[in-house]
Chains A and B, each alone.
Chain A
């Protein structure tokens, strides 16, 4: 039961609450704009041609860039995508098409938890299963750890997107005599294509900014990537190492790398959103 209260008190409470909400929104907005602005301003100052084409130089020397780290991040992300996306799509297909049972429920439950599992622990895990047996840090180990992070993300979005395909579509195709795998392959995947692609882009965006799992898998390197079995330079670990270093010119480079990563992640998110928007029409 609502206690009868005078209109004036109720109105004052209302105004107070709304002002608080406005203030909260403003505080949030201010901090977030502040962060974006800071990264853009400090990062832009070191972006030049060398930054994209040169190898890093020791602190104190002029010039140099992070071209090797950019290439490394791309390679590691591609490896992760090649491993994580097909598996994730298959797993999501299982959950959506065959998974209305106890086993499916268990997988769904676990993948929901897995999505938020601490990424640094996944790094520890991959260190134990790949870095130690293979005898050293490697780009491959970095890719695998990111693939493990991607797997549950892709699984979940794939399931959601396939669920959006109406059952009548499946039934129509089945009625034409197509076997179920063919229905999924030719009909369900096609209808859900845009949504699945969105999910994949978002998953790539998510892992391309990950640092923690790369710290002791891919490690870092001042050289060009020499192969998947060698330690591989990458932007995020470079940011960490450079930012924690006492050298001003390295710290500036860390801002530049931060700007690059931030723009890449935001761009992928916006592209994904455009896909969703198109699908909605």
Chain B
């Protein structure tokens, strides 16, 4: 093929076009995020102008009198997430330890695949199960028992309805468990076999190897995995909306119905009748977006900037 015919078949502008196309598509992610931020801010503006920073610390939410505040939903989001993390993190660690060190080698791929498949199940399934199976069970058996024996703590007082913060936390925990377990397992697997064998060779027990070799080696990864789970739990809509009860009231009791930002949006967005109501809801969305953005951004940033090799 002569030089001339080649440049006819592959003119240089095709090269430029190709690079431009891919770069354009890459920029889309940047542009989308920027436009999203601007649009949310613009649509939330009537509410921002009306309530200013008071929006973030006010607990009133009254569409009739046009008083809107985000504190109830922000606290609801944080509490449900905290509850979920409290339950899911130890379990996820245990499951990861089981998958990497304890389970018979033959069964490991099966268990691992199962965990990954479970992590892919849509959250609405967890919501369905929470509403129809877990909530009645908690209402009939678990919550009365807890009120009787732990009722001196304000957290466990209140009506055993099954619908509320407590159930939402448990459903969320079960939902993020497979995801976090598989992330932590991946991190544990990255420990070089030689390191583990050396520790075993020195006479360390399995637990000592995990706690003093595997965990320190993968600590960064574990923390990032936890942050990702945190981000998921905070932004989760369906698993929570089904069971939290949608009540704009703050209460010490975990058994009372409550609200998160996501569940408020899911329940009220299509019903918002006037501009201020809608814009208050959009502002809630903006707050959620910013919180998760910061949490996930910190995790990403930390993963990149913390030294790859830590000294203990």
Contact = CB atoms under 8 A, between A and B. Distances in A.
Q: Do A and B come from one complex?
A: yes
A98 interface: yes
Nearest to A236: B124
Contacts of B121: 35, 209, 262, 265-266
A90 B266 contact: no
B25 A91 contact: yes
Given A25-B95, A129-B39, A212-B262, A148 B32 contact: yes
A118 B289 contact: yes
Contact of A117 (B122, B292, B304): B292
SS of B interface (majority): helix
A212 to B, nearest CB: 4
A211 interface: yes
A25 B102 CA distance: 10
A269 B120 contact: yes
Contacts of B292: 116-118
Nearest to B24: A90
A122 B25 CA distance: 19
A46 interface: no
Interface stretch (B55-63, B64-72, B293-301): B293-301
Contacts, number: 268
Interface stretch (B142-150, B235-243, B248-256): B235-243
B189 to A, nearest CB: 16
B79 interface: no
Interface in A73-111: 86-91, 93-95, 97-99, 103-104, 106-107, 109-111
A236 B125 CA distance: 10
4 nearest A-B residue pairs (beta carbon): A24-B94, A209-B122, A118-B235, A90-B25
Interface of B: 6, 10, 12, 14-15, 17-19, 21-30, 32-33, 35-36, 39-40, 43, 90-95, 97-99, 101-103, 113-114, 116-118, 120-129, 131-133, 174, 177-178, 181, 205-208, 210-212, 228, 231-232, 234-238, 241-242, 262, 265-266, 269-270, 281-282, 285-286, 288-289, 292-293, 296-297, 300-301, 304
